[in-house]
Each structure stands twice: as C-alpha cells, then as structure tokens.
Structure 1
Amino acid sequence: MRTLLRCLLLVLLAPAASAQNTEKVVFDPADSTDGYYLAVRPRSGTVRGVLALAVSFTAPESVLPETKLHNVASANDLLTVYFSLKQKPYADSVTVQRIDAILRDAARRFGADGRSFVLAGHDYAGPAVLRYTGLAAERPALLRPQGVFTVDSPVDLFGLWRWIDRQVRNGGPGAGDARYLTELMTAEHGTPSDRPAQWAALTPFRTAVDSTGNERALQKTPLRLYYDDDITWQLQERGNSLFDTHLPDATELLRRLRAGGNRDAELVTAKTAAHNSRGLRSANALSIVDEVDCIHWIKNLLGIFDPHTWKAPFFFAAPAGWGTERFALPASFAPDLPLKGVEDIRFAPGFASPKSGQYWAYTYLWWLEGAPAVDAARLQQYFKAYYDGLVAVNMRDKTLPADKMIATTVTIKKTKTVPGEPEAYEGSVRLLDYQSLEPVTLRLTVQVQPCTAQGRTALLVAAAPHAFGDPTWKELRRIGAAFSCTQ
C-alpha cells in the first residue's frame, strides 16, 4: 500500500517494554516515597486519551514487565499512567483524593482531556477504582472515567472478608495475604461485623444484600472484569474451589448491572493460561488482559478513531490497484487544523514512483463533523496547515540545505457550478516534495457536499501535479463523482 505518511500507520504489535520512554512524575513533593506515578507518552506525541492503572501493596514499576498495555497504548495515541494506591484495597477519602489528584495532574501535565480517560485496577486496587468510579458518577467535583476495568480483583469488600476467613481457615495459598489484610483493614476501619455501615460505604458492591447498593452508581459506566477462569487448575494446583476466587461475586455484580440495563458490563476471561513475567503460572497475572483487544475497547469508549475497526458510513470507491489509508482529523501532523472527522485517502498506483505518469496523484475525503464554514479563504488556511505539517513530519529524519527548503503556498478560488451540484473550488499547492526533495506543485479540486442526514460535511479533494486535461484527472474525477453520503 502506498502511504502519504509513513508515520500514520497504526502499530498494534508493540515493541519491548524497555523501548518505551517511561517517565517518573512527581505529583506530591511532600510524599518522598509514593508521591509519584509513571507515565508513557504516545509515540505520535498526540494524547487522545488516557489509560490510568492502579496497583496496591506494590510500586508502579512492578507493572512494566508484566504487560504490554503501555506499548500498545503508546502506538494508539493513548497516554498510560501507572500509579500506586499504597496500602489501600478500598476507596476511603484519602484514596479518592489521591486518584483524583493523579488524574488531574496527568491531564494538566500532558495536555489530556480530563474527560477522556479509562481507569483500571489490578488485584487489590480493583475495589478502590470501582468505588471511585461510582463516586465520580455521583460527585461532579471528581474527574469521572469513561470506563473502568479490573484484573483479578475482588468486587465486594464483604466478600473479601469471607475470602480471608476461608483462606485462613483452610490454610490456602492466600493465607499469608489474608492475615496481613485482616490486620491492616481492622486497624483502619474495624471489621464488617463491628462497623457494617462504614464497610457498606466503602464497598463497590455487596453480594449478600438483595437491595440495590453502591453498584447503582456503575449502572451507566462501561465496565470489564478480567479473570483467569481455569477452575481445574485452581482445584488441582492450588487446592481452591470456585469460592476461593473472586469470580462468584464478580459474576453476580455483572448480572445485576446487566439486569439494570448496563449492556456494557462484561466478564472477560483469559484467552490462554495466565503467567507472570518469570514464566510462572498465576491466576493473578496481568497477562490475563489481551492488550490489543483492551486498547481497542478503550479507544471505542473514548471515541478515538481506529482505522482497523471503523466502518465507513459513506461510499468512496477504491479502484483496483489503488492504495488506501485512513486517520482521524485533525491529523497528528497538523494539530492546529480546526476540523474534526476522518480522512480517507485513495492513492493512484504510481503515486510514489517519480517515473510514473501518476506520481503524486491521489484523492482524499474529509468526512467532517457538523457543517463547518467553507470558503476559498478558509480552504487556503486549512490546506496550508495540512501541507505544512505533512512536509515537516516527513522531513523529520532527513537533512536538506537551507536554500533547498521552500515555504508551502496555497491558492484556492471558487468555481462556477450548475445549480444543484456540490459547491466546488480549484487551486494549487506548492510544497517541498519530501520524496524527491524538490519543489512540486499540485493542482487541487475541491467539492463540498453536505451529508445532512449523517450530521456530516464531505470535502472531496483531488490532487495531482498534472494539467487538468491529463488522463490522470479523468480517473480522479470518476472516483469523486461516484461518492455517496451513504453506502
């Protein structure tokens, strides 16, 4: 496939974790031990959303070798934040403030939209992020996640106490953790039997109570609960029954949410047996999460365009032998372009071949949200920003003498059309051809077609360095003429 921009291809197979630039960000200088989080920026430099994953009883550094979530996120314009809730398996007031402070700091520091993030919790951090998400749905002062997921986490703190009792009584493999948790939670909040009201406020859900509880606050939130459901292995290797896992409570929570109308409440089980980074079998491993599938889910929740899964609602022909490419607008190379939507490109077979009669011949559709103002002056502004960015990003790894560099210039004028035909423009753009490193002048045609039923405007652009009478333009115009707002 010929590509207009090498860097626009979506990379789903992530590189090794060590290849990522992990930043340690201090958000609370007063906390010299835990007042930080780890951040991995998007490879493109454009932050379209945030994945914030919490751990408890461990440092955020422990996550890096256990998952490639941050690698796949980085290739998909997502900022990843890993942080610790310290010794907290629940969202008490201290933990709620900590989560909110970290999310706000990341949004401010990295230029992210505070509404475009998904919150996650691994293991004992799970009930805390679930309860925070519920509280954020009820308290406008808190940043509210657009979705939440947990990995091998308890969802019912009363159920966690039952699990503790079973592990200690049966001498199960989790007995050591159980005793430690008992001491910690009793010291901070007493026991559920002593202080039931306090624990009822902390838990995101309560299995043993038939009436609706705190889970009502999750009713409108997309939610995933990840588990390794290999009960045979639990029985044979760990001596555990189903009731020594968190699955019973989790499935009951999901049942109630779905019964209440939340069709986005999902149980996601491991595709293969979970192992940690040392190769040891562990139902608690982050490998339960299929990273590519999870990042696709997050992008869908946040409304981030994904060329691999997006289904075009329009018809834009792709003749045999022509290349295609899609990406979101504003493009990462032209962030100041004041238009939102999707660009869909058709490259002539000889687009990248200087000896071809189709060199630099292509047509593209801007499928724009709403009905943005369009006139000759605005189109000149749009194309100047677009082609300036296109040249800059493609020259990033190239060197060229200063006297060879040229400024991008655009001229656009409105053309006469027959009544009832789409509004049309013609013009040209002179730019540095980053393929040959010589100037090139592309002739442009633009059609503006309202797609009112779809709430969109279609800008159909054809470009080629050839004279308008060249046969190349016949094919470009044929593709444009066949466009339809619907399939």
Structure 2
Amino acid sequence: MNKLFVLVVLLSVLISCKSEKKTSIKKETKNEVIVTDNFELIKATENSKTVLILFGGFGENPTAIKREFDILTIAKDNNINVLLMNYSKKLWLLESEKKELAKLLQSTLEKHNLHKKDIFIGGFSSGGVVSLHISNYILGKKEFYIAPKGVFIADSPIDLLALYKTSQLNIKNNFSDVSVAESTWVLNLFEETLGNPKDSISNYEKYAVYTSESDYTKNLANLKNTKLRFYIEPDSIWWKENRNREFNQTNAFYIQELSASLKKQNFKNVEYITTENKGYRANGDRHPHSWSIINKENLIAWMME
C-alpha cells in the first residue's frame, strides 16, 4: 500500500513538472513589415523607444541594404524599429529635396507612431551624405520635430571638390576600368550641374558636406550637439593595388580631416572609428568601401546609451 502511494505521488510530481514546462514556453514575436515605394519599415511589435533610419549607397534600395548590412536580427533583439529608405543616387541635396525628404520622414514616423522615439539616422557611401544633410536640415527647421539623437556615416564621399579632383587624376592615370568609368561620370555630372571649380568653388561648398580646401563646415552647423560617428577603413594597400590611389585621394582621408576640424570647433560628440580588414561585400569580395566596416553590436550599444 505504501509503495503504491509513493508511486502515485511521484507520477503526480512528474506530470506537474511537465505541465509547468509547457506553460513557460514563449512564442516568438514577429515584427510588422510595411513596404511602400519610398521605404520598408520593420516595426517592432513591443513598446520600442528607438528608430533607426538607413540610407543605402548610390543605387541601393531596401533589399540591397538588407543584403549588405544584416542589422535586422540584432535590431529585433533590442526592440528597435528600422526604416530602410528607398532613396539613393544622391551625392548632394537641393533645398527643395531636403524639404521633401524631411516631410516624407516626418509623415512616415508620425503615421506609424514613431515620431516621439529616439531617432538615429545613418548611411553608407552616398547614403551617409544624405544622412548628414537631412539631419542638419531637420535640426535647423522648427517645422520638423523628428530631430535625430545621433547620425553616422560609413566611408562617404563628403568632399565634392576633392571627388572632382580625384576623378580627374583617375582618368589621367587610366589604371582601372571601373575607376575611369566612375570618374568620367562624376566629372560630367559635376561640370554640368556645379560648374568647373576653377571658376568658383562656391557651388561645391554650398552642396558638399565638407570642403577640405577651404575648411568649409557650415553645412553641419546644426549638428554641433548631436552624436556623430564616422566609420572608415583606411586600407591604403588595397586602394593602391586596386585603384592606384594614395590615401589622400580616398573618402577616408577627407572624413579624417572633417573629424579633426569639427573637434577643433568644439563639436562635443564626434567619433572617428577606423577598422582593419572588415570591409567585405555580401558576396565575399574584399572591399574597404563596404557596409561591413560598421560593427553592428557596437552601433546598437551606442544607440542605446
């Protein structure tokens, strides 16, 4: 009788334990995804406090950004909303384009109840140029209330005058077909829209993020109290072997110059972050001009500070 009683008690305990394990299972929540012609929004289903807005490099759409910069998993783990902009092919922004883009961002964030969150804006290559320009514009206009808490760029062509001169040199050297084709396109575009800098560099100063030759930084004046991060991979050997460029002909050099200039002007939160052998495209190709130079975990930590 006692043995039977003990057996019944043991079975009851085992059944109870199994029952408790079953009730402790938590279903994985899925993010809400909203896709339009202008953007792809991956919205956190929990009560999130943060929005990350990303601009791709020249010609990149949301699909390309996701392929080259696998940020969505860690963003989900940290309950961060991610807005991938389908807005590229811009090396500078006209005043009308800034206003139109700012209105699009504000209406999008407002519609999806994200405008009161901590907002961070960043981008790779030309997307970084757009990120800095639009952030500076938003902070300078009272009609917009989506001021970014932080802005970051990855190997962006911030100096248009320097890009013009480097393009001239690339064509003269005739070292790489890719470099010559890109440089020819740049020169034609710049001379058609901005003019020849020999006549005046004022247009280049007006539209560039930064002009090193004249140390012109007025296009960033409204970001003095905003957290800024500049990511670069100064691989001089790669650029010399693959494009026949010196370090002072790369985006990294001018970003370094800008960082130093802003710090001299008492910009409080400027970080210049260099990497080594981190630049790889999604297909495995080695290239220091890549999204992958951004450490995703460290970026998220910076945002969550």
Given the two structures, how large is their TM-score scaled by the length of structure 1? 0.52
Match for residue 15 of structure 2? none
> SS state of the match for residue 247, structure 1?
helix
Kindly tell me the number of residue pairs found equivalent between the two proteins.
277
The aligned residue for residue 133 of structure 1 is 135
Describe the SS at the equivalent of 2:152. strand
Contact 1:115 1:145 in 2 (8 A): no
Task: Check conservation: 2:232, 2:273, Cα contact below 8 A.
Answer: yes
Partner Cα distance (1:105, 1:240) in 2:
43
Pick the aligned partner of 1:283 from 272, 284, 288: 288
CA–CA separation in structure 1 for the residues paired with 2:104 and 2:198? 33
Residue aligning to 1:350: none
| Greater relative CO (CA pairs within 8 A, separation 6+) | 2
Deviation at 1:271, TM superposition (A): 5.0
1:36 to 29, 38, 49: 38
Which residue of structure 2 aligns with residue 79 of structure 1?
81
Deviation at 1:295, TM superposition (A): 1.1
How far is the alpha carbon of 1:145 from its aligned partner? 1.5
What residue number does 1:68 align with?
A: 70
Alpha carbons 1:119, 1:129 under 8 Å: kept: yes
Larger Rg computed on CA atoms: 1
**What's the CA shift for 1:245?**
1.0
Q: Select the residue among 284, 301, 305 that pairs with 1:296.
A: 301
| 1:192 lines up with 2:192 in the alignment | no
Maintained 8 Å contact 2:168/2:187: no
% same residue: 18
Residue pairs, 1:87-486, within 5 angstroms: 87-114=89-116, 116-142=118-144, 143-173=146-176, 174-194=179-199, 196-210=201-215, 213-270=218-275, 272-300=277-305
How far has the Cα of 1:205 moved from its partner? Answer: 1.5
* Corresponding letter in the other structure for 2:271: E
> What's the C-alpha RMSD, in Å, of the aligned pairs?
2.7
Tell me, yes or no, if the aligned pair for 1:229 and 1:270 is still in contact at 8 Å: yes
Name the SS of the counterpart of 1:217 in structure 2: helix
Partner letter of residue 239 of structure 1? N
Cα distance change on mapping 1:201 and 1:21 into 2, 3 Å: same
Q: Letter of the aligned partner of 2:82 in structure 1?
A: T
Deviation track 1:357-383 (CA, whole Å, cap 9, x = no partner) reads xxxxxxxxxxxxxxxxxxxxxxxxxxx
Tell me, in whole angstroms, the C-alpha distance in 2 between the residues paired with 1:175 and 1:181.
Answer: 10
Tell me if structure 2 keeps the 8 A contact 1:206–1:213.
no
Name the counterpart of 2:34: 23
CA 1:176–1:211: 2 relative to 1, 3 Å: closer
Counterpart-to-counterpart distance in 1, 2:216 and 2:204: 16
Deviation, structure 1 residue 210: 4.3
Please give the secondary structure, in 2, of the residue aligned with 1:278: coil
Look up the match of 1:30.
none
Given that 2:55 and 2:88 are in contact with CA atoms closer than 8 Å, whether structure 1 keeps it comes out as: no
- Quote the offset at 1:89 in angstroms: 1.0
C-alpha contact 1:166 1:244 (8 A) present in aligned 2: no
Match of 1:59 among 40, 58, 61: 61
Structure with the larger helix share: 2
Kindly indicate whether residue 46 of structure 2 is the aligned counterpart of residue 45 of structure 1: yes
**3-state SS of 1:140 partner:** coil
Whether the 8 Å CA contact 1:91–1:129 is kept in 2: the answer is no
Report deviation, 1:269. 2.0
Question: Structure 1 residues 98, 282: closer, same or farther in 2, change over 3 A?
Answer: farther
State the distance in 2 between where 1:119 and 1:127 align: 11
Alpha-carbon displacement from aligned partner over 1:232-253 (angstroms, at most 9, x marks no partner):
2222344221023112211111
Q: What displacement does 1:100 show?
A: 1.0
CA contact (8 A) 1:172 1:240 kept: no
Q: Which residue of 2 aligns with 1:15?
A: none
- CA gap of 1:212–1:184, structure 2 versus 1, over 3 A, is closer
Query: SS of 2:102's equivalent?
Result: helix
Q: Post-superposition shift, 1:93? A: 2.2
| Amino acid paired to 2:184 | R
Provide the rounded CA distance (Å) in 1 between the counterparts of 2:204 and 2:183.
17
TM-score (norm 2): 0.81
Q: Which runs of 5+ in 1 are unaligned?
A: 10-18, 26-34, 301-487
* Separation in structure 2 between the aligned mates of residue 90 and residue 285 of structure 1, nearest angstrom: 20
For 1:20-75, what per-residue CA distance to the aligned partner results, in whole angstroms no more than 9, with x for missing partners? Answer: 765312xxxxxxxxx42111122x43331111111232322211111122221122
The alpha-carbon deviation at position 147 of structure 1 amounts to: 1.2
SS at match of 1:266: strand
* Contact in 2 for aligned 1:116/1:146 (Cα 8 Å): yes
Which structure has greater strand proportion? 1
